[in-house]
Chains A and B, each alone.
Chain A
Amino acid sequence: MFSYYLELALRSLRRSPGLTALMVLAIGFGVAASMTTWSVFRAVSGDPIPWKSSQLFVPQIDMWGPKGRGPNNSDNEPPDALDYTDAMALMRAHRGKLQSAMYQISPSVVPADASKHPINVSGHAVYSEFFPMLDVPFLYGNGWSADDDTQRAAVAVISGKLNDKLFGGANSVGRTVSIEGKDYRVVGVLGNWNPQPRFYDVVNTGGFSTGVEDVFIPFERAIAMSISNDGNTNCSETPAESGFVGLQRSSCIWLAYMVQLDDAAAVSAYRSWLDGYAKDQQKAGRFGWAPNNRLRDVPAFLDHEQVVPSDTKVSLLVALGLLIVCLVNTAGLLLAKFLRRSSEIGVRRALGAPRLAIYAQFLTEAGMIGLAGGVLGLLLTGVGVASVSWVLPKDIASLARLDFSLLALTLLVAVIATTLAGLYPTFRASRVQPAWQLKSN
């Protein structure tokens, strides 16, 4: 029976090619616009570390107090980064399974080949636990040890890209790289690792980054060598002392922090430890206010930081609106098309076809239009995803890509949506009175 309906549908579609083309075009464009914006939305709202994001937490401590946050901050949220004093206190307490304070650096690297000019790389100063905590993949070697942390060892982990540039892609573990004019021993070379959004340091990257993290060095080594921070620094008051040391002694915030807590018990224990810490600071006179801490996991923190650009959400919303208009349009055209064939329906019904058969016939026709629209939508989505790269900001555009699930979704949305749009016209078609149709002819 289905093949018969297919044949009927084909015949009907061929009979009014203009109307059919109109419907297919509308579905195609509507679905393509939605899927293109969806591909961007999906890319920026994705979980960068899905297998672990609920175990990774970002602690926030209110070191500024209500006054220091200024007049614009009325929701009593503590600052979203840490000052040096509190970050170090958290590192010393070491209450999580794994944890690391970190800050963004942008040191120069001098190639061994003297004829080449120095280059600028970006990276982070981190603790040894950073690598196992974030499941960072290594191509060669490994991260450094806890001893290297405390001894401020001159060791570095470099990206595969920097390894290609400096060592021609060979295993460079044990070799030397010159960072800010000092020699560092390479202990590890990263595999392909470029998580987006940069969930471990949203504050300094704003979430997305076109660059690659080229170099990681031990946190305390970077502090000892006065490798200053490259990211944002926010102060509620002017530091009392000058220089990088003055920054470390101030309440200015410039450090990101991440801690791994495996279960609910660990989370609540960490929370109460944070509150205890803030209370101690209050007692010591450093904080003149009650504890006001937050401990958000990665998805919650990304949401809090509004990593997904509002433009992306608005675009998706508007594109969905477009899809709805296209469907309303299709519903109207299908209605016209189906009712035009009232006499044909009347004949079929008079010959004994039940209403269900009419439903099957016309929904098959709607589904076929949806399928055709979906195929057109696939092509247009391809064009759309390719063209966002020259329309949207580079850091976001590079994330939107065409893959199998997007293509499958495009077809599915087109077919389902068109079938839904065809429901009412089909209902009307099934209500056609055979007697009336036969008589009037």
Chain B
Amino acid sequence: MTLHPMIAALRRHKAGVVLIALQIALTLAIVCNAVFIIGQRIERVHRPTGLDENNLFLVSQQWVGAPSGDDPGSVEKLDSMQQADLAALRGLPDVASVAPINSLPLLNSSWNGAVDLKPGDKGQGSFRGTRTTYYFSDEQALSTLGLRLVAGRNFTAADVGHQGFRDQGEPTQVILTKALGDKLFPKGDALGKVIFLNGATTPTTIIGLVERMQVPGTGSWTNAFVWNATLAPTRLDANFARYAIRAKPGRLDAAMRAVTPALYATNPLRVLDDDSVKSFADIRAEAYRADVGMAILMGVVCLILLAVTAAGIVGLTSFWVGQRHRQIGVRRALGARKIDILHYFQIENLVIASVGAVIGLMLAVGLNLLLMKSFEMDRLPAAYVLIGIVVVLALGQGAVFVPARRASNVPPVVATRAA
């Protein structure tokens, strides 16, 4: 079969052809970008934090009428209150281990700074160096969070110090994530090296490296340093404290229920409300709610789009089949087989859809450029567009099949009847 008569026929109903092609083009452009957004969000949501997230939960609490923490005496008082809490929590039967910590990955409450290979000097600001987030915890951080040590050693109880929340001392020993260590020392020999935190003039030694640990922030502003974390062996003392707790396997609910009474028994003058005890699963769900929501929204839009476009193709092709009823009969009478009629409509659709796909490809790239310019989107990978083209072509073929088969069933005798 040659394409020539088909294209001549298409010229007879230009408007319909243009509208279908345009619809396919727009559908392709939007679906490609929407699916790309979905893909990115799924990738974001599924990146591992580096923590063993099962059986992990967090307690955030605040003391009432606690000392200010601005003078050495009150820092000591706050620290003893925190130690009492830690002892009470570690004594619970369902608890495997507890670590005081200022934040957790995905918690969106962070303490960020920079680390550098050179000591700081006055007036340069503390932005020089490599950005990092800080986790202040103690020797149980690794076991509680389930972080995997890949080099060096863990903190010991003797390494752990404490300081007021707003005190400025920097720790002398830290554990870094491997990502941060490799960034500072690209040869991969960060262990044992000396670095300077936040423009400090006193050195800090890297005593260990953990495989992976995400920063608390989930916004796009953290993208540049999402795996750069520094663990300091320091309990922070303030009028509030957070405790990361690992429950014994399968005992998460029991451990979470036991925490509130145990803390009130230690000291009733504190605030513990519904939000104070949170499983890590809840923290994760909350952090990625917007991403999951966006993915669902884009998914719904894609489904509607594809359905509408398929329905549109069915509708217009049905009309054309009705319009050419007699011509089909003539062709059949002249010896065309059923399969030839079927193929005619299938190939016609393929031609229109291909034209639409080419325009759609350009629109998809254009829309992507617009999103990149205005909304910090990434560049659309070619694979998405190619798969998108295959999908719309397949959609067109699927949609055209029913009316095309109806056309192929037109009996040759129609040719003998008046129109």
Interface, chain A (partner B; CB < 8 A): 18-19, 22, 25-26, 29-30, 33, 37, 64, 67-68, 70-72, 106, 108, 110, 117-120, 180-181, 226, 228, 235-247, 309-311, 313-315, 317-319, 321-322, 324-326, 328-329, 331-333, 335-337, 340, 388, 391-394, 424, 428, 440
Binds A, one of B50-58, B181-189, B286-294, B327-335: B286-294
B98 within 8 A of A: no
B198 near A238: Cβ-Cβ < 8 Å: yes
Contact B127 A71, beta carbon cutoff 8 Å: yes
Which segment, of B135-143, B296-304, B409-417, faces chain A? B296-304
In the assembled complex, B200 has its CB within 8 A of some CB on chain A: yes
Are A237 and B308 touching (Cβ within 8 A)? no
Are the CB atoms of A243 and B166 closer together than 8 Å? yes
**B173 contacts chain A at the CB level, 8 A cutoff:** no
| A-B contact sample (13 more), CB < 8 A, given A110-B64, A340-B323 | A19-B315, A19-B318, A29-B308, A33-B301, A118-B269, A181-B64, A242-B164, A243-B167, A317-B371, A322-B304, A329-B308, A331-B19, A340-B322
Q: Which residues of B contact A120 (CB under 8 A)?
A: 62, 271, 273
A326 contacts which chain B residues (CB < 8 A)? 308
A235 CA / B296 CA spacing, docked (Å): 38
The residue on B at minimum CB distance from A73 is B127
Contact of B375 among A29, A245, A314, A328 (CB under 8 A): A314
Which chain B residues numbered 377 to 414 have a C-beta less than 8 Å away from chain A?
A: 377
Q: Quick one: CB contact mask for B230-251 with A, threshold 8 Å, 1 for yes?
A: 0000000011000000000000
**CB contact list, B352-373 vs A, under 8 A:** 367, 371
Chain B residue nearest to A380 (CB atoms) is B304
Choose the segment among B3-11, B26-34, B76-84, B144-152 that binds chain A (4+ C-beta atoms closer than 8 Å).
Answer: B26-34
Task: Report B95-134 residues with CB < 8 Å from chain A CB.
Answer: 123-127
CA distance in complex: A337, B19 (Å): 14
In chain B between 261 and 308, which residues have their CB closer than 8 angstroms to a CB of chain A? 264, 268-273, 289-290, 292-294, 296-298, 300-301, 304-305, 308
Q: Do B308 and A393 touch across chains, with their CB atoms under 8 A apart?
A: no
- Chain A contacts of B297 at CB under 8 A? 37, 315, 391
25 A–B contacts, CB within 8 A, in A order: A18-B315, A22-B312, A26-B308, A33-B301, A67-B124, A108-B65, A108-B271, A117-B264, A118-B64, A181-B65, A226-B70, A239-B166, A241-B168, A243-B164, A310-B376, A313-B375, A318-B30, A319-B301, A321-B26, A328-B312, A332-B312, A336-B320, A340-B322, A392-B290, A393-B289
Given contacts A243-B68, A332-B19, A440-B419, contact A108 B126 (CB under 8 A): no
Asked if residues A329 and B309 are in contact (CB atoms below 8 Å), the reply is yes
Closest to B41 in A: A311
Query: Does B171 reach chain A (CB closer than 8 Å)?
Result: no
Question: Which A-chain residue is minimally distant from B19 (CB atoms)?
Answer: A332
B contact residues, range: 35 or more
Is B259 engaged at the interface, CB distance under 8 Å to the other chain? no
| Contact between chains at A392 and B289 (CB < 8 Å) | yes
* Interface status of B316 (Cβ within 8 A of chain A): yes
On chain A, the residues within 8 Å of B268 by CB distance are 117
B23 within 8 A of partner (CB): yes
Partner of A332, one of B27, B33, B198, B315: B315
Nearest CB on A from B323, distance (A)? 7
Assess the B37–A314 pair: CB atoms within 8 A.
yes
CA distance A129 to B282 in the complex (A): 40
**Residues of the A chain whose Cβ atoms lie less than 8 Å from the Cβ of B292:** 391
Complex alpha-carbon distance, A440 and B238, angstroms: 92
Among all A-B residue pairs, the 5 with the closest Cβ atoms = A181-B65, A243-B70, A70-B127, A336-B319, A332-B19
B168–A242 touching, CB < 8 Å: yes
Residues of A within 8 A of B258 (CB): none
Chain B residue at minimal CB-CB distance from A252: B166
In the bound complex, residues from chain A placing their C-beta under 8 Å from that of B70 are: 226, 242-245
Complex CA–CA separation, A61 to B238 (angstroms): 30
* Least CB distance, B392 to chain A, in whole angstroms: 12
Give the contacts of B57-71 with A (CB-CB under 8 A).
62-65, 68-71
B48 in contact (CB, < 8 A)? no
Shortest beta-carbon distance from A27 to chain B in Å: 10
Contact (A391, B166) CB under 8 Å given A237-B199, A314-B375: no
With A33-B304, A336-B16 as known contacts, state yes or no: A318 contacts B312, CB within 8 Å.
no
Mark contacts of B11-25 with chain A using CB atoms, 8 A cut-off: 1 yes-contact digit, 0 otherwise. 000011001101100
Query: Is the CB–CB distance between A108 and B64 below 8 Å?
Result: yes
A394 to chain B, nearest CB (A): 7
CA distance A388 to B322 in the complex (A): 43
Contact B289 A394 (CB under 8 A): yes
Shortest beta-carbon distance from B138 to chain A in Å? 21
Q: Which residue of B lies closest to A243 (CB)?
A: B70
Contact B19 A328 (CB under 8 A): yes
Known contacts A237-B125, A315-B297, A332-B23; is-contact A322 B30 (Cβ 8 Å) = yes
Which residues of chain A come closer than 8 Å to B374, judged between CB atoms? 310, 313
Q: Bound state CA distance, A318 and B22, in angstroms? A: 16
Q: How far is the CA of A240 from the CA of B166 in the complex (A)?
A: 11
Chain A residues with CB under 8 Å of B71's CB are 243
Q: Residues of A contacting B375 with CB < 8 Å?
A: 310, 313-314
Q: Are A392's CB and B26's CB within 8 A? A: no
Query: Does B311 count as interface, using CB distance less than 8 angstroms?
Result: yes
For B65, give its contact among A37, A180, A325 (CB under 8 Å): A180
Contact A336 B127 (CB under 8 A): no
Is the beta-carbon distance between A236 and B125 smaller than 8 angstroms?
yes
Whole-angstrom distance between the Cβ of A284 and the nearest chain B Cβ? 16
In the assembled complex, the CB of B22 is this many whole angstroms from the nearest CB of chain A, namely 5
**Cβ contacts under 8 Å, A72 to chain B:** 224
The reply to whether A325 and B26 contact each other, CB–CB distance below 8 Å, is: yes
A424 to B15, CA, bound (A): 9
